[in-house]
Every structure is written in C-alpha cells, then in structure tokens.
Amino acid sequence: MSVKDILLNSEKKVAWLCDPDKTADQQLIYTAHVAQNAGADMVLIGGSHLQHNGLDHCIERIKSACSLPVVLFPGNCMQISPLADAILFLSLISGRNADLLIGQHVNVAYQLHQSNLEIIPTGYMLIDSGMPTSVSYISNTMPIPRDKTDIAVSTALAGQLLGMQAIYLEAGSGAALTVPLQCIKSVKEHTRLPLIIGGGINNGKIAKSIMLSGADMIVIGNAAEERPDCLYEIISYIKKTPFNAEENQ
C-alpha cells in the first residue's frame, strides 16, 4: 500500500517522528519495535535542524527493526535519502520565506524525479504555540496566531487549490500548547485533504481530542523519544476509540 493510500484511508493514524540527531542506535531499534507493535502507521524522519548527517544510517536501523513505511519529513533539501519509501514534500505555506515555499524544492526536484520515492506534496503550516519554536526560528517565519482560525482555513484552502495532497498543522516540536482544537475543526471542515497534526502531543487524552477535532493523523516525536512505551498508551487510546465528532463538543 502506498503512503498516500494510508493517508487517505478512513482510519485514524499515528506516526512516530524520529529525530536522527537525538536517537542512539539501541533506542532507535527499540522504539521502532514499539511503534510497530503498538500499531503505528508510519515513521517520519527529519527535523527543522539536524547537526549530524546520520539519515541513511538511521533509516537502515529503523528498517532492520520494523516494516513500517519510512517517510522523509525534511527541514531542508539536505535531508533526502533514497533509502526511505516516501517524502512529505513540504512547502511552508504559512510563511513568506520563498526558500521554504519553493527554493529548496528546486534544489532537489531533479534528484527526487529520478528517485523511487513516493512524493506527497504537503502544505506545511506553523500555528503559534505560545512561545518561539525551533521551526519558527530556523524557518525565519511567523506562525499563524492561535486565534486566527480564518487565516489558517484560508491558508489550508490555498494549499489545496495549489494541488497539495495533505495539510500538516504544526505547533512545533515539544510545544507546550498543541494546535488549537478549533483550528483543527475549522480546517477539516473547509478542506478535503488528509489532515496531519503535530507538536506537543504527549498523552492519549490530548491525542484523542485532536483526533475528535478532525485530525486524520497525529505525529508523536518528543514523547516517544523520552518514553518510547508511551506509543502503546497513545495508540491504544486512539485505536479503541469510536470516532464521532459530536463527542468532542
């Protein structure tokens, strides 16, 4: 099954986000086992700022430990590896930094075109989480204010009209405040693309409310890095929940 098919199916999905800088080999292999056994749907790999060039090595380790699809989640055009299965080809549509809207993409377009990677054009949107995050600093962009749901909806719609195949609402790695539920609800109501939510999701209760608000997939990074077994708790909470949007009102 392609990654796009997984994103489009009607199930609620969970991705483990692996930061190749922060995960030692043993923990990487352990977390990959846990992700698979807990019922995660895919592994994302990348980050807004990597200090080491360990991407290939990391993907090899993950693939030796689990059979989940590995999807690149690149912070820049250096984070490309042919060993992955797919790439979220992110355009930072909430920002006005031309390099992250189209510039980095031009740098890798030919390489991607020649590769076997499945390409998933994704509208990437930063939502303010109450304090500066690595991704807002590194990208040199301002996130969309938390209460400006109308701007988030218009931005996501613009992404859809431009031909994106998924929308990712990002609060930032380790965010104290996740993407507001009202923002998730409104973007979901007004668009028809798979909706991915990440940043600060660290327990089953939060994960469930985000799913009930309309997320199709949530991304768990920091929490799994600190305590890999939390994936069991979060995923079982989600997979056993009958998702009825009215429950969250």
Q: Is 20 in the site for ligand 1GP (CB under 6 A)?
A: no
Q: Is 231 in the site for ligand 1GP (CB under 6 A)?
A: no
For 195-246, the DSSP string reads EEEESS--SHHHHHHHHHTT-SEEEE-HHHHH-TTHHHHHHHHHHTS---GG
- Stretches 1-9, 89-97, 113-121, 168-176: which one binds ligand 1GP (CB under 6 A)? 168-176
- Asked if 160 and 123 count as a contact pair (C-beta separation under 8 A), the reply is yes
Q: Which of residues 197-226 bind ligand 1GP (CB under 6 A)?
A: 198-201, 219-223
Residue 9 Cβ, how far from ligand 1GP at the closest point, in Å?
Answer: 21
C-beta closer to ligand 1GP: residue 170 or 216? 170
CA dihedral defined by 202, 205, 211, 216, rounded to 10 degrees? 30
- Stretches 62-70, 95-103, 169-177, 204-212: which one binds ligand 1GP (CB under 6 A)? 169-177
Q: Which residue is nearest to ligand 1GP (CB)?
A: 198
Positions in the binding site for ligand 1GP (CB under 6 A): 17, 170, 173-175, 198-201, 219-223
